[in-house]
Structure 1
Amino acid sequence: MTKNTKRRGPRKLAAVIGTVAQDRVVFCGPLGVGKTTAVRTVSDVEVANTDVTQAANPQGGGSRSEKRTTTVGIDYGEWHEDASSNVAVYGTPGQVRFDTVRTSTMSFSVHVVLWLFGQNDYALEEADEWLRYVGAQDASVYDTLTVAVTRLDEPGDHPRLEDYRETLDRFGSGIRLLAADPRDRDDVRRVVGVAIGREGALPQVVGA
């Protein structure tokens, strides 16, 4: 091994857009919450992503973020649950100006996961804003919606996971709620499993 050679993990398969999948899961939520990260974390193929460098102080998405890049199209990855099951995973833009891209993806027959920040003192207000948004075109999305809250372990005076339940129940009593880190593969796999109805006996799922 030469000194410039680095050890690498197993190489992921190349992504093929249009691959037949048994299920489709769409990640949506505020700018910088971790949607692209979650796609990359769970995907078993190379992710087709649309991240670009963003201008300072971006507007939209309802949340402050220091993220240096932003998604302007659709991120695409695949989770191979097992040898016979292929789940397509899509990440969508968090900025309001890319609304058309996001809503076109959500118009398919998909399972929607709403990722939310958990460390902000305005977290419940932001949750309400995004819940209104995802159901604006079709309220039936609430029947199968999954909400994943991240960064709950950060210090500060912010809501607990169970505090989100009342807000979610105003939109639908069947909305699934759980805590998850988009950087943690097991967490993201759990989120996707809940979204497609294969959650089993999973911890930190609050309400169903």
Structure 2
Amino acid sequence: MPSVVGLVAQERVAFVGPFGVGKTTAVRTISDVTVADTDVRRSASTDAEPADAAKRTTTVGIDYGEWHPVGRPRVAVYGTPGQLRFDMVRANAMSAGATLVLWLFGDRLDALDEAELWLRHLHTIDARAYERLSVAVTRLGAPGPGLDLADFRARLGAHASGVPVLAADPRARHDVERVVRAALDRATTPRTEQ
């Protein structure tokens, strides 16, 4: 495949969310080109990064892939770090109106609080983030608090009405495509003042 200098995609989607939720995996799953990732070996766990023996790497920059959907312009897909200390990297990926997919865990006891924290965090970076956002909840039905999508919709709806909230596995291409399409459709749908 020839090298390309510069962005050739017409649309951009940034995956955001907590550490280990599957953002890099989702980029790899949907990308039709070799992914340029910024995963590095984890040296130690911090309070912001829950210990997870299975997760040996962490994203420290922006992962990049491209999705070439049929009947739609090429889409640049960015994965961002989950640690709050890499906020500047996340802000760069969100800049210039990139569409957003917020990946969340559905099996954590604090899942709804974490969802609200991330929603507020994104709004702090960009006050219009909610207008181009969809939410992907992974690991629903896994052992945990017994949450469903209605729980997430109710909590997030208090801050951002109309945000699509979908169950998705970052390893399943169909799921990733579905949440990306939902975010792109939301970003291109005209809003009326409420």
- TM-score normalised according to structure 1 size: 0.83
Change beyond 3 A, Cα 1:30–1:111 = same
What SS is found at the alignment partner of 1:77? strand
User: Unaligned stretches of 5+ in structure 2?
Assistant: 187-194
Q: Which residue does 2:93 correspond to in 1?
A: 105
Instruction: Determine which structure has the larger helix proportion and give its number.
Output: 2
Q: Which residue does 1:10 correspond to in 2?
A: none
Partner residue of 1:175 out of 138, 143, 163: 163
State the Cα RMSD in Å. Answer: 1.9
Cα deviation per residue 1:19-40 (whole Å; 9 max; x = unaligned)? 3212100000000000000000
User: Quick check: which has more Rg, 1 or 2?
Assistant: 1
In 1, Cα distance between equivalents of 2:70 and 2:96: 24
In 1, Cα distance between equivalents of 2:131 and 2:84: 24
Cα deviation per residue 1:112-166 (whole Å; 9 max; x = unaligned)? 1100000111100110111110110322111221110000031232321111111
Cα deviation per residue 1:53-81 (whole Å; 9 max; x = unaligned)? 012323326x5544110001000000000
Question: Could you tell which deviates more after superposition, 118-127 or 64-73?
Answer: 64-73
Question: Could you tell which deviates more after superposition, 20-29 or 34-43?
Answer: 20-29
Q: Could you tell me the percent identity over the aligned residues?
A: 56
- 1:14, CA displacement in angstroms? 6.4
What SS is found at the alignment partner of 2:75? strand
- TM-score normalised according to structure 2 size: 0.88
Change beyond 3 A, Cα 1:100–1:188 = same
Partner residue of 2:127 out of 115, 132, 139: 139
User: Unaligned stretches of 5+ in structure 1?
Assistant: 1-12, 199-208
Q: What amino acid sits opposite 2:119 in the alignment?
A: L
